[in-house]
Amino acid sequence: MSLPKGFLWGNSVSSMQYDGAQHEGGKGPSVYEHKPGAWEEAIDGYHRFREDNELMAEMGMNCLRFQTSWSRIMPEGEGEVNQEGLLYYENLADDLLANGIAPMVCLYHFDMPLALAEKYHGFASKHVVDAFVDYAKVVIDALAPKVKWWITFNEQNLYGLPMAFDIAGAPVPADPTAPEHEAEVYQIAHNVMVAHARVVNYLHGNYPDCKIGGMCAFTPVYPATPAPADVLAATQAERFGSWIVLDTCARGAYPSYYTAYLRHRGITLDMSAEEIAQIGCMRNDFSAISYYQSSCVSAGNLSDDVPACALGWVGGCKNPHVEANEWGWNIDATGYRRAITVIWERCGLPVFSLENGIGWREKLPEDGSAIADDYRISYHRDHIQALKDSVELDGAEVIGYLGWGLIDIPSSSGDIEKRYGAVYVDYAAQGADHLKRMPKKSFAWFRQAFSSNGEDLD
């Protein structure tokens, strides 16, 4: 067997895509109040988590990564704690444990409390860093006795990319890839790294049995051709798109390619000696990743004034050697193996794969049979095999494999048509059948794969 005993198999969700109950239990508003999508009810996990936990246990899962909503626990983002909101997550963790499922907590998944976005522009402000650390301490003190596994920020590398403004709760410029906004992106990324370091240090200092890591949405970047200019462009795009967070978390300091670039561009960030010290003494226990796709870059699409944080966006091109789904996400299991292996070799920390999956448009068959999602089975079979190859053939150390939204949830854009799950959630049904959970064909396959510790993938 290539995977160790105790390997973690499971699911990941975010609070705004899972919980629903946006105006129940004392929850305050987040920035998602103003975003279009199915956020009001999501899939009503707030009321249905016990049913879902039983389904996950039946599917052979032994781990769930859920997110605690900052504005459910602190309605204004700071100040008074909403005990009812905190109790919901305590009850969720207890029920997971009762079903033999290890809970894992993510503290932030893009849903900035609305008050902090409006008053301070989210993580563009040092004040919000302090508020986040206060919130994190409340959650840690309540849940650490029950929860071993932690991450601070979902896909933390995204705060160093042009999407940083939106996910950090800051005003979004008309063109976030423009050079005049580059320093603002890196300031947000630094503030988020400081928040991460302070939380890591608090958790380790007070709950030494808990494990925590920084998370990266890792996207391998291929050169459009073997031309040296394309290879260099791909290297730089991957560095600034994926590696900065992983390198910093592994070494406790910003990598030299990043600091040299800032000097070359004449960018001076607002960072104190105390902040650098917090980063320097943090110790991450694993490198966490999400993996969905690879990308491709052509130097011909780039000019000298394109910021490094935008190289992958501006320089992107189609890769003719891989297939893609309807939304243009490349299907590349080989890239997944490369990601795991290279992260392990470069960072020296065990890799924890926290998200992997494929979105697909699905409808219930008229004959009442289960959705035959063979494409999902094929996708996960290939990616789990790639993970096993990284362990058995490349020598990587991997903690676990969590799929994304294996119980259907709205996509990150609020679209309920793009589905990732092995369990269908019926948004269209009315009455008692509204949001009914129905296993798809892949449900039985996941049960077989997970229960066999990844050995039976047929």
Residues serving a catalytic function are 155, 355
Strand partners, 47: none
CA atoms of 456 and 454, how far apart (whole Å)? 6
- What is 32-101 written as a DSSP string? GGGS-SSTTTTT-HHHHHHHHHHHHHHTT--EEEEE--HHHHSTTSSSS--HHHHHHHHHHHHHHHHTT-
CA atoms of 91 and 93, how far apart (whole Å)? 5
Buried/exposed 162-199: b ≥16 CB within 10 Å, e otherwise: bbbbbbbbbeeeeebbeeebbbbbbbbbbbbbbbbbbb
2 Cβ contact list (under 8 Å, min separation 6) = 388, 391, 392, 454
Query: Regarding beta strands 8-12 and 398-404, do their DSSP bridges make them parallel or antiparallel, or are they unpaired?
Result: parallel
CA atoms of 422 and 360, how far apart (whole Å)? 11
Reference 190, options 253, 261, 120; nearest CA is 253
Which tokens hold the place of 444? 């039985």
Crossing angle of helices 273-281 and 182-206, in 10° steps, is 50
Measured CA distances, 269 to 61, 161, 326 (Å):
43, 16, 40
Extended strands (E) in 284-336: 286-290, 295-297, 323-324, 330-331
- What is 336-402 written as a DSSP string? HHHHHHHHHHHH-S-EEEEE----EE----TTSPPP--HHHHHHHHHHHHHHHHHHHTT---EEEEE
